[in-house]
Amino acid sequence: MKSKNNKIVEVFIPGPAGRLEAKYYKSRKNTSPICLVLHPHPQYGGTMNNKVVVDTFQTFMNNDFSVCRVNFRGVGKSDGEFDNGQGELADAAAALDWLEKENFDNSQCWISGFSFGSLIAMQLLMRRPEINRFVAISPQPNVYDFSFLTPCPTSGILINGKKDELVPFESINELNKRLSAQKGIEVEFDVIPDANHFFSKADEKLIRSLNKYIEKETALY
């Protein structure tokens, strides 16, 4: 399903546990880059309508991406039930398949995730060589094991709040050191001073950080 009027449309994507509810924006630009945006933990109220997810989606949209945000299984109108990350990774892969088919001539393929969504995004990144940029917002290396990122296959950015109440700064620093030690890729870390895990009252700063990185990384295309 494509949007003739360049509006955000509701779509249902065939997934491994049934249909997946998604929102999709199709850029009018030929060979536009694409991005899949993934939401926080479903068992803690995470959905594709989370404010950080919507802000991220909108920022990619404003930068002329064809962009999709999707509800994992069991969330909203998506079929199935929570599957402790394995099923959610399969859902993300199905959504990326769909997005690529809709935009077979894309110039870049990005993945973005917030909190639990950043874990799924990075796991998908390891399995899909066509993904050439990532955005991980508020990752939780103190909760989830990110050691699978050694080595990390592509460049990207990690954005977190200095006042993140769920993630000790030391664990983000550890992840930073591990990823920064790699050659051939550049992983940027942007720590937003006044922001907590959910970027409450710091949403504009998050959008500015995203915009700056996206504009820089798409300038060559």
Give the CATH number, domain containing residue 55.
Answer: 3.40.50.1820
Query: What percent of the chain clears pLDDT 90, i.e. is strictly above it?
Result: 90
Whole-model pTM: value is 0.96
Report the domain count for the chain: 1
Query: By residue range, what is the domain housing residue 78?
Result: 9-218
What gap in Å lies between CA 182 and CA 58, rounded to an integer? 31
pLDDT at 221 > cutoff 80: no
Whether 183 is in a domain gets the answer yes
Confidence band of 142 (pLDDT split at 50, 70, 90) = very high
Model confidence over 80-115: pLDDT tens digits?
Answer: 999 999 999 999 999 999 999 999 999 999 999 999
56 domain residue, yes or no = yes
Classify residue 73: in a domain, yes or no.
yes
